[in-house]
Structure 1
């Protein structure tokens, strides 16, 4: 087998990576762009070259033996940026984790170490690959040695073989040194012969072969000026050649036998990636960093419990409930696992659920439990008449708060991110797609016990991280108790009048049929309205409407295109309406009918507590937060949502302009604060400020423009976005935003400061210390950076508003309990809470709900809550 040696110029590659990538840093403030780029290059090299031997050479210091000959050698180089200097220790740590040898030698450069080792390796018949960003090393190229020089970025490499050098320069590798002697090298402050560039040097060497031969025949060189320069700077040229020559017999102590590569150390590498915040690498190369095959996992000892005994429980246990189906409201529990100081246990479902001892333990507050996804566990257990109490830690919620940008949040992914590898992912264990299966208990048991073991091992790490991030209060006092409120809401469900919903569906079908006939009439022929291709032909060929945009398959008929054509032909408005009603029919009418629980005529939406990066809740199966209410037909769908008991009504309360109020507080803008304190209409106030008019002079159009800017500012709107929203020119929109920021200087200052803070820290926080990491905030890509800047402005506002309504939900649950009311919280839709309650409690709720919601948090401006109630959700508006 051929031995393959890879030699890497460590300093050169680190510099390349540092300047090729934006100035990234992790959540601890450590700059990571050079480390990240170096890692990417290393991974690529190892994968492509599959070396048997590897070494990374570093420069040992500022002075080398070359400085004795020329004290100004490398004298023009700028000082290494401190942002790069701080990364070198981590690059060395990275190499140690990879078990890759690294070496530096006092008084010598990395080039000399590489040159010496290539010579030794060539003598022993190795195949050699040198990686650097410095073309000086191309002189080492030979039939056995290929020199890879990084080009753009970090992983794009140009390979220099003797043939490539011949093709590119018309020279041999040895003549590269002569070329450097003639032309010098500004980066190393090698002087060369003034006025001689690469083209002239190559031309001379093609004729005279070596610098020495050229200088000995200098009188034959054509061109008086060139001949004179060569004669004048003869000694300087020879010195330059000497400086550019790589030492190939440096007194190195490392031997080829010492640098054999046997693969990386998984634990060390994973831990380093986690410390540096390289989540994408953890996910991308997760399979390589974790022992994923069942046979690779170390055996674990555990007991399969056949009868529940009190002695298997302890003061603190990791407790895992396995429910596989996506909608766990209708799913069966397939097993339990338990790990504590007394041992590790797998408990089959029937053994647990038939045991009064198990139920007593699960419901006992005194027995402390660490779980994964407490909401899911609680809802699943409730189907069997068990309430889960005593939960002190939830791995899912903790991992979400630590970094909400992570999209893979199963136990295995979280465990691997935190250095715990003794677990497989569900995808590997259960399979996916058609191969998905649930094995028998004897095989299932080990997998579930491993999950509980991960919970047991990781609690302390996550708790420590939350403490460092000042997020323990957010975790313990908000998110954890909220999970139980959401479990209550999910289990309770919302009643749907199936007949009324079906009736709406029939009405919509009739409307769609009428619209279809009208559209055919306006088009002059029948066609498939849902076919972009057929619609494009009708609009742009038959009706001759202006083409706004084309796609690979033809004309674009997207919503934004159609909206721009709305004034050109009556058919456009009807097509847009047809699409909107069609979506209502398929997604909301038919979609809702499919998920109504036949046992109780309710829908049990699932609240995603650990999904959005802002902290807002979302809902699925069905999504009750996105029922479109701009269309009357969409609003009417809410008529199908009714109280679950006779003599009850729906009561809805929502925060008025909560995000603008949070903005006033965070930005500490005097005019905004004053307007809210005085109870002014904020859009009228903004119109007054921007248009310099009095309140009674504000027109409806002025207020509309002001409203668009008020809410747009919250989302970091651009002049382009505002121009599209208001159908005005981009220039007009830009002036509008400028005037707004002049009117509210506190807002302008906030927007500038929060972006600066995000660039320094790498994240932004809400009022309750919820974080959102923004690695793209320093990107050189304008679009990525702009998006991150807008996100930095928006997240503290939207995230704080989300925190406030969550706090209000907790306070309301407590107040309803204290007042011993029957009213129940059914739904949360962004800034709105929906209850069902007996009619006789409405007068109490009219006082209580606004009081609780408005006092959920103290801001510099008052919070305001509006409420309504009626026989359906539609009526509670």
Structure 2
């Protein structure tokens, strides 16, 4: 938008700055750098290098100081300067030629702050008073103390009255009440705070105009990096600006715009999008609108023994959708398309039900559900492209257009360019027949080509058996579960809604009484001011990047017990979330045709191999609180002839750890039916098992599960509320008593270093490309995954195999009972009462015998008139 001619990106250095010399506690309460930023930093460096953008920094100074110095020096050379940042501290640098460029997001637009905006935002008379404002308020993020008892409004009042920090401190005798005493006792802190808040504009760094000029990109490096990060849209924008042709795509409007390295003004516009001339990828496709030649096509597909297929619908994720057309392909760059007709359905049925034909598709589960209402069921011998790629690259996205570009070097038709967006968006049925044919045929062609690539890769990496024996059979199980759905007790939910609403009102009243005033409980800003300015629950308060007090659940949870209002607020939020996310929302998801809710299970999302679910997300139904557990009472059988049965693996991840590590103590505990947490507590605390207290067992339980996730002494101390030294001793004792566990962890990490991946018991891979990173924090994150991924992934494989085994036996016996849900390590069934004995036997046997470990798998089973009773 602003068309810059020069650009630089400034960074902090790890070394202390002059501010640390002034005040040793400066930024002392900063939390560790978020893992995401640590992981992203090497990519940011590569990006800037490939774009030929200068990176600037200076030991002893912060990035703020380098920016401030460059901004002032550039202004002196008659440049107009934009500081791209949302940090309010930079407002002190704004002048007639220096502006703050605050990037927007989906909630707020981009803002440019000049002198007028700064004065309005801070309610001050001149820009330099920003420093006085910041000094008076202090900053919990940077641990700048400020003046005690002075918040935003008080700081604005003081500046309006006195004009500066110095003038205020010279006239403290005019301040009334206890605030006078506080400010007078902190005069030195006030002066120091202003110094700490001042951005240094005399850093010994040169303004080298030529080096900061926008230069030609290194296109190959940019493309390599963006391909790696899957930044498709941004890549096309950058390529169009640089003059490089975009990858051709089908059915886009052909436009030619010259994209020179430098625009007419000598500026490179990174933020515009130019359309290069594009060519259509040829897919020879025939439209058999009359349904003729279906026998000839079926014979050809049957002879080849393999074909890809694609249903065309308005919304594949809705199993009530009607089919618009179907496309098939059994030869590269060739496809046939049939609009919906009786002959189309007959051909589709013949192809898909032929067990000797390998059927290739993308998101086959959704298509199976739609096909069922056309009496096309029991499809076998299929190959799902998205799930194949999920096994090959579990951390990557699996979109068909991305796969086509990455593996075939071609871009598929952009669905948004075909259908449009927003109010102008059309449905598939509104497209011309020609566009329907092109779109559907192109997908089948891409899928057919990817099939060859992915089959070879799966076999090469020894993942083909896992794909065929677990993931493909599971796909059918999940489609059956999704179609079956689960019934809801709407009357119970209505009563529960009223009950929760009443409790929420009472909590609101209690919170207002304690705080002394009413305020918007949904406003983090108002809540922060009440808790930390008015009530002053704690002295050192964490703030967000926008300068507001942090009132997140994480922050407030750490304050539990400090004041009654905190417990009330946390309970209020918990009940509000339960009410809005589940109690009120679930009835709205009831399908009008079936009277049930139908969740969708994601088979290719969680990199660990676990399933997840959406619409609704049943994995996240709260179970740790009494009210949360009550939510399960709403899930009921289909009618009075049925009950809900729930079967849950007991401590499956710990059993897998015992088996993988071969630790004698763990194996002994599980093989002899001893409570593992009590056994662990006895060993760690060096007491007899009969002397283990509830607190000891609770601590041991946290250690047992924490070890699997690579918990640190600091993390354990936070969770248990104990000193870090005590937590470290517990972990040390644990590894002394369970030495093979430590050996397993070290071995897993070492193998991961050699291979850059780890495997589950059944061979599922999790790639850990950062395991050999020079960055300690990035490497530590990968090391934790090296320990956990084989355990969590093996648990996922076990329950997946169990689901297949149970479902096959239920179908073999033609039971009327149905599998409904899979939530973590639990399976939920709609059990016909007359089948109770046989179903419980099948479920327990198949789940416990699905795989052989060195310790027994144990399944707890319950049943009742709702999920809560059964669990």
TM-score normalised over the length of structure 2: 0.68
Aligned residue in 2 for 1:22: none
Matched, 1:306 2:292: no
Q: Judging changes above 3 Å, is the alpha-carbon distance between structure 1 residues 40 and 375 closer, same or farther for their aligned structure 2 residues?
A: same
Q: Report what 1:401 is aligned to.
A: 391
Q: Distance in 2 between matches of 1:324 and 1:744?
A: 57
* CA displacement at 1:39 relative to structure 2: 8.4
| 1:661 and 1:863 in contact (8 A); partners too | yes
- Distance (whole Å) between structure 2 residues aligned to residue 515 and residue 874 of structure 1: 26
| Equivalent position to 1:375, from 365, 372, 377 | 365
1:660 to partner: Cα distance: 0.3
CA distance in 2, matches of 1:351, 1:614: 42
Task: Give me the whole-angstrom Cα distance separating, in 2, the residues matched to 1:514 and 1:389.
Answer: 55
Distance in 2, matches of 1:400 and 1:411, equals 12
In the alignment of these two chains, the number of paired residues is: 634
Which residue of structure 1 lines up, in the alignment, with residue 271 of structure 2?
none
For 1:263 and 1:716, locate their aligned partners in 2 and report how far apart those are by CA, in whole Å: 40
Q: Structure 2: which 5+ runs fail to align?
A: 1-39, 56-205, 240-245, 252-277
Superimposed CA distance per residue, residues 211-237 of structure 1 (whole angstroms, 9 cap, x where no aligned partner): xxxxxxxxxxxxxxxxxxxxxxxxxxx
- Where do 5+ consecutive residues of structure 1 fail to align? 1-32, 49-157, 165-260
Is the CA contact 2:288–2:339 (under 8 Å) kept in the aligned structure 1? no
What CA deviation, in whole Å up to 9, does each residue of 1:679-734 have, x standing for no partner? Answer: 11000110011011111011111000000000111111111211111011122111
TM-score by length of 1: 0.68
CA-to-aligned-CA distance 1:458-492 (integer Å, 9 cap, x gap): 21110111111110111000000100000000011
What is the match of residue 722 of structure 2?
Answer: 728
Task: Select 1:520's aligned residue among 505, 512, 527.
Answer: 512
1:605 to 595, 599, 608: 599
* Residue matched to 2:807: 813
**Does residue 474 in structure 1 map to residue 466 in structure 2?**
yes
Q: Which one of the candidate residues 636, 647, 661 is aligned to 1:642?
A: 636
CA 576–791 in structure 1, closer or farther in 2 if over 3 Å, else same: same
| 1:621-632 matched pairs, under 5 angstroms | 621-632=615-626
Q: How does 1:744-755 map to 2 (within 5 A)?
A: 744-755=738-749
Instruction: Give the Cα separation in 1 of the matches to 2:529 and 2:805.
Output: 58
Equivalent residue number for residue 543 of structure 2: 550
Deviations 1:760-787 (A, max 9, x none): 2111111111111122222233332221
Give me the whole-angstrom Cα distance separating, in 1, the residues matched to 2:207 and 2:766: 42
* Maintained 8 Å contact 1:282/1:417: no
Q: CA deviation at 1:263?
A: 11
1:489 aligns with 481
CA separation of 1:358/1:667 partners in 2, compared to 1, >3 Å: closer, same or farther?
same
Separation in 2, partners of 1:265, 1:764: 31
Measure, in 2, the Cα distance between the counterparts of 1:857 and 1:285: 46
Residues 1:710 and 1:353: Cα distance change in structure 2 (over 3 Å): farther
Tell me what 1:291 maps to: 248
Query: Deviation per CA, 1:600-652, whole angstroms, max 9, x where unpaired?
Result: 22000000000000000000001111100112211111111111133110000
State the match for 1:845 in structure 2.
Answer: 839
Residues in 1 aligned to 2:343 and 2:766: alpha-carbon distance in whole angstroms = 40
Decide which of 294, 314, 328 is 1:338's aligned counterpart: 328
Measured after TM superposition, the shift of residue 396 of structure 1 is 0.8
Select between 364-373 and 380-389 the one with higher mean Cα deviation.
Answer: 380-389
CA offset at residue 422 of structure 1?
Answer: 5.3
Matched, 1:44 2:27: no
- Answering whether residue 868 of structure 2 is matched by residue 874 of structure 1, we say yes
**How large is the RMSD of aligned CA atoms in angstroms?**
3.2
For residue 586 of structure 1, what is the aligned residue in structure 2? 580
Deviation at 1:805, TM superposition (A): 0.1
Q: 1:573 aligns with which of 567, 574, 582?
A: 567
- Tell which structure's C-alpha radius of gyration is larger: 1
Between 706-715 and 441-450, the greater mean CA deviation after superposition: 441-450
1:671 to 665, 669, 674: 665
Alpha-carbon offset, residue 832 of structure 1: 0.3
SS at match of 1:603: coil
Moved more, 677-686 or 520-529: 520-529
Deviates more, 1:736-745 or 1:555-564: 555-564
Aligned to 2:456: 464
Structure 1's 505 and 347: CA in aligned 2 closer, same or farther, altered over 3 A? farther
SS in 2 for 1:302: strand
Look up the SS of the partner of 2:847 in the other structure: helix
Query: What's 1:658 paired with?
Result: 652
For residues 841 and 279 of structure 1, do their structure 2 counterparts lie closer, same or farther at Cα, with a shift above 3 Å needed? same
* Alpha-carbon distance between aligned partners in 2 of 1:428 and 1:747, rounded to the nearest angstrom: 54
The offset of 1:515, in angstroms, is: 1.3
Q: Does 1:325 align with 2:315?
A: yes
